[in-house]
Structure 1
């Protein structure tokens, strides 16, 4: 027997009200609080990077073990994002977000009291479970209250929250670790997350989201019956969407490497103390996040008339990062290297906004969280989990610098997928427009 959600739990089925009943400020409140929890998500995830030197010394860990503590989170995110996103689309996105944030914050507290590598690995496993579907469900919530013409900008800004959260987590975590202890670095992140959870629970509800829901793409809404829910299979049967998943995931391989390994890079090759290395890496990670935002804005501008140009923008961002990071890690240490890596870092996550916007354009709003969940699976399995772990393994055999030199080559795969996606995009949009008329499902 099929269970149907109420209008409160299922925004897609809730009646929409006229513009006069909507507040122009509420969507930005939704964005601010959802973005704030995303900061907490990545602060809890990436604070570990600043703690690497302390754990390596105190517990005598190898680079592969350190990498596993980082990648276990991204791995769990990759494995659990889709099923949890599907559940959130049916059970209620707001309730799901609150539960996730409580879990990862509590698990971060467990990291603070871990007494061994095995205990830390278990706690990080739970952090990954809690964070698994947050990005996909959170971005679906944000996009639901904004018009499609802003989707690349908002997606880029939302995805940049990962970099900004990483900056805060790495920089603040390093300072706390040096002046207090590395355990308090984890505890501080957990407390911040729990405070934000309380605010989110008080101000955001499913009913208010439904009231402020923005119109979807006209080609789809014009023929979509009220209460329509697209089949889950549509997440995988549109070739253009598959290209967006693959291209988006592969393009974050090197960005994930930068987030995890820049502190160690500056510590080993620039002889910086852990706190100074974390602060230096934070500047570059901030560039990654800023690039996501600005590249998203650029993408919406170039795609204002022809949305297929958003694919072209994503391809260009990948190509720029490929060139500058490859050259940057190949030259000697110094100002020139710093400048080249900085430019490459700025564009390293630039395709995040275009990829998310394309996925949103090519999937029905009733399965938007699930679509973003599928994209997040690609982001993590092909990028954020695979990248840091692969570089950690290569570093044990070739050295960290050589591993970093090889990592940008993955952009070639991302570029190939995005080029294919651009060619398939018109047919993908026609398939989406015909979806509700071909397979009505009230």
Structure 2
């Protein structure tokens, strides 16, 4: 009996690929539920512990600070050991840490538990991105990454809505405990999926170098070879920094839009969280849409994978700034915010694909980990605490305008990166991935 080969460009059959992708999608969804549930609990924590806006922002930032410290070393483990085992262990850790938040008695303890969530989540985005890049053909990479990333706004919105509902009815501690459970179940399933064989870090050599290597056409990459690979890829570096600017804007909006609707427009907590969640939910359109546009446009213009993020960042900045500056409420303003929500995520899928396109296949998790470190160090970790500090001093409206303007910097960086993309793509080693037996 002959074994059926997977379709061209796929690592496994389409049905099994869809199953693995579903688990990856659900884990990312609950990753962000656990990460953002605390946002809807701010009023309850303020009432119990007397926290400031800056302290509330710091509880969101704590996750990202931990990711900064642990993402890179964990990504090395992912690339060199096992994707499925690493991801399974991480999901168990962040779920248990979320449950532990329910047992905390003061700000310091909750901050520590939130930091533990970040440690668990540190390698998931790099590991998941590497797996999706292996599962699907390159021509579908941005679109599938887009569908995967649509779980982020959904998870954020669900975390805020579910957290607010549970806290309003049964108390904020129950919110942490309940949302932690699904991640544990999915993590256990993930330990049993098929992975691909770890890729050796080898590169092709020219004739003179081959003679020195005893006639071999390839040689193992040294640490300096790896450093030169990243340092000598400008489209990749500019994508990292463009990512940071967009995450500063996006995470600041996700964190403080509920506060804006409650404090400036006078909505009760549940209505404020629903309005903010509606904006995040529209991002489910933007993520796959941006990936589809980039993959389609790329057939005619290779630079499309960075031109789409540039255009998306520009639209997000203009729409958010216009909404805050020209309107003080109403349906027109909210409609503008809905469009801004789409634009504020449409850039991500093709930008993530770039971090996989222009590097050696054995360095994909490391590549996205460097992106994660950069975006969290300069964007996600700073956004909530800086925006919270500006809010304490100048008011929430001014703080959100400043956060919106950061997207304009990303617009410029993505555009400059597009000028180098084709050259960097042409330098990449082409290596076929092999499924585990």
TM over 0.5: same fold? yes
Structure 1 residues 115 and 146 mapped into 2: Cα distance closer, same or farther (>3 Å)?
A: same
Give the 3-state SS of the residue equivalent to 2:428 in structure 1. Answer: helix
Is the 8 Å Cα contact of residues 302 and 422 (structure 2) preserved in structure 1?
no
421-430 or 364-373, which moves further after superposition? 421-430
Aligned counterparts of 2:75 and 2:388: Cα–Cα separation in 1: 30
Distance 1:236 1:79, change over 3 A: farther
Q: In structure 2, how many angstroms separate the alpha carbons of the residues matched to 1:186 and 1:403?
A: 28
Task: Indicate conservation of the 8 Å contact 1:317/1:351, yes or no.
Answer: yes
Structural mapping, 1:263-274, within 5 Å = 263-274=258-269
How far apart are residue 225 of structure 1 and its match?
Answer: 7.4
> Structure 2 length normalisation: TM-score?
0.88
Q: How does 1:163-312 map to 2 (within 5 A)?
A: 163-202=153-192, 204-206=193-195, 209-210=196-197, 231-233=225-227, 234-312=229-307
Contact 1:114-1:120 at 8 Å conserved across structures = yes
Counterpart Cα distance in 2 of 1:428 and 1:58: 53
Q: Which residue number in structure 2 is paired with residue 62 of structure 1?
A: 52
Q: How far off its partner does 1:228 sit?
A: 6.6
Give the deviation of 1:316 after TM superposition.
0.9
Q: Note if 1:374 corresponds to 2:370.
A: yes
Query: How many pairs align?
Result: 407
Counterparts of residues 44-63 of structure 1 (less than 5 Å): 44-63=34-53
What's the CA shift string for 1:317-360, capped at 9, x where partnerless? Answer: 11111111111111212222211211112101221111111121
Aligned equivalent of 1:422: 418
**1:100-148 Cα deviation digits (max 9, x unpaired):** 1111111111101111111100100101111111111111111111001
8 Å contact 2:12–2:135 — kept in the other structure? no
- Ranges in structure 2 where 5+ consecutive residues have no aligned partner: 205-215, 432-437
Following superposition, the deviation at residue 43 of structure 1 comes to: 0.6
1:227–1:18 Cα change, 3 Å: farther
State the distance in 1 between where 2:187 and 2:254 align. 25
Task: Write the distance in 2 (CA, Å) between the matches of 1:117 and 1:132.
Answer: 22
**Structure 1 unmatched runs, 5+:** 1-16, 214-218, 437-442
Q: CA deviation at 1:256?
A: 1.0
User: Runs in 1 of length 4+ with deviation above 3 angstroms?
Assistant: 17-22, 224-232
Shift in Å, 1:79: 2.5
Whole-angstrom distance in 2 between the partners of 1:410 and 1:85: 28
- Structure 1 residue 229: Cα displacement: 6.3
Q: Which residue of 1 aligns with 2:6?
A: 19
Q: Tell me how far apart the structure 2 counterparts of residues 426 and 304 of structure 1 sit (CA, whole Å).
A: 13
Separation in 1, partners of 2:165, 2:231: 45
Secondary structure in structure 2 of the residue aligned to 1:329: helix
In the aligned structure 2, how far is the partner of 1:196 from the partner of 1:362?
Answer: 31
Report the 3-state secondary structure (helix = DSSP H, G, I; strand = E; otherwise coil) of the residue aligned with 1:19.
coil
- Looking at structure 1, the residues matched to 285 and 425 of structure 2 have their Cα atoms a distance apart, in angstroms, of 30
- With over 3 angstroms needed to count, the CA separation of the structure-2 counterparts of 1:292 and 1:22, relative to structure 1, is closer
The answer as to 2:377 corresponding to 1:387 is no
Cα distance in structure 1, aligned partners of 2:353 and 2:309? 11
CA distance in 1, matches of 2:357, 2:117: 31
Q: Once structures 1 and 2 are overlaid, which stretch shifts more, 382-391 or 44-53?
A: 382-391
Partner of 2:138: 148
Residues in 2 aligned to 1:174 and 1:195: alpha-carbon distance in whole angstroms: 23
Structure 1 residue aligned with 2:324: 329
